[in-house]
Amino acid sequence: MTQKAMDIPTQLAARIDKLALEAPSLPVLSEAEQATLKAEIKTLLKAQNAQIVAHFYVDEALQSLAEETGGLVADSLEMANFGAQSDADTIVVCGVRFMGETAKMLSPEKTILMPDIEATCSLDLGCPADEFAEFCAEHPDYTVVVYANTSAEVKAIADWVVTSGNALQIVTHLKEQGQKIIWAPDRHLGDWIEKETGIEMLRWQGHCIVHDEFKTFELKQLKEQHPNAKVLVHPESPAEVVELADVVGSTKVLINAVKTMDDQEFIVATDLGIFYKMQQLAPNKTLLVAPTTDREAACKSCAHCPWMAMNGLQNLLSCLKDKTGEILVDEAIRLKALGSLDKMLEFSRNAGLVKK
């Protein structure tokens, strides 16, 4: 019988939780300290023809700095597209490691820096390349589709790379071609794609430690207390939470919903970092965070990614000043992964999901 899903070993899951708990916290900076650091960073960005490409989950000081200096704040799809199209010599990726690696693989001639290259992702950690390669080798007639939240080595095994901003469209396209799909690594995003497209995939069973925590019972209670609120959910959340959503989509889709919908109140099931952009675009709307695991417990994320939180002004300055945190990718791996990354961007540009 065909194996339908590949579970993550308990030991690996425990190691991921431990790493999340051990992620370092950055010091809180005064406004004066922030202003001094920002001024220094701006000077170095100019001198080095460098741009900041930041994810919606990083600290608001970094998001505002990216925008003030001609960089970008975006979801992972737009981050990849912008990096590939930018004519800067250096790109500073404020986010997690897979985002830096993607930028490097698409632009090997550019210097790609990150404030902290140890900033990882539980989905990436939960899909080791060797084991994934074995799983794929058992099913040679399957098309391998991997989420962008994976290592360069896993992307090198894949036929397609997708993000939450294009996964539905790409899987629908593959389904129309009659292809059988291996999906990795996010089980919840996989659930959502299966439900929306009607396709059945062979699935890796990874999860995001942040989105996995959103809780159905507590969310229903919050909805009862706020009957007019619309529920916005990132598809890395559990299926029962996704079922309660009015809008499901990538970070960009959720931000757009707050901006464009007439409703005044929203319950948001994704990382809290997104509130900065939502509030900036819709200052008069009320945003409530969807409930996570018991808030009294020692929390490993509580709706904020411990690895996104490793990006700060101080380490951003050091990475530009001392060239620490440079992302390098083995050339053989890069060349293998490039095909699927290029295909993803070409598909997304043609589908009007990102700029041509």
d(CA 90, CA 82): 13
Contact string (CB under 6 A) for ligand 13P, positions 23-62, x = contact: ----------------------------------------
- What is the nearest approach in angstroms of ligand SF4 to the Cβ of residue 259? 22
Using CB under 6 A, which residues numbered 287 to 326 contact ligand SF4? 305, 307-308
Q: Which stretch binds ligand 13P (CB under 6 A): 36-44, 69-77, 127-135, 329-337?
A: 69-77
- Residue 163's binding partner among ligand 13P, ligand SF4, none (Cβ under 5 to 8 angstroms by kind) is ligand 13P
| Structure tokens that stand for 90 in this block | 């250096």
Q: Which stretch binds ligand 13P (CB under 6 A): 35-43, 160-168, 257-265, 280-288?
A: 160-168
- Residue 327's binding partner among ligand SF4, ligand 13P, none (Cβ under 5 to 8 angstroms by kind) is none
- CB-nearer residue toward ligand 13P: 45 or 77: 77
Using CB under 6 A, which residues numbered 100 to 129 contact ligand SF4? 121-123
Which is nearest to 90 in space by CA: 74, 76, 71, 73? 71
- Residue 307's binding partner among ligand SF4, ligand 13P, none (Cβ under 5 to 8 angstroms by kind) is ligand SF4
Binding site for ligand SF4 (CB under 6 A): 96, 121-123, 149, 208-210, 236, 271, 305, 307-308
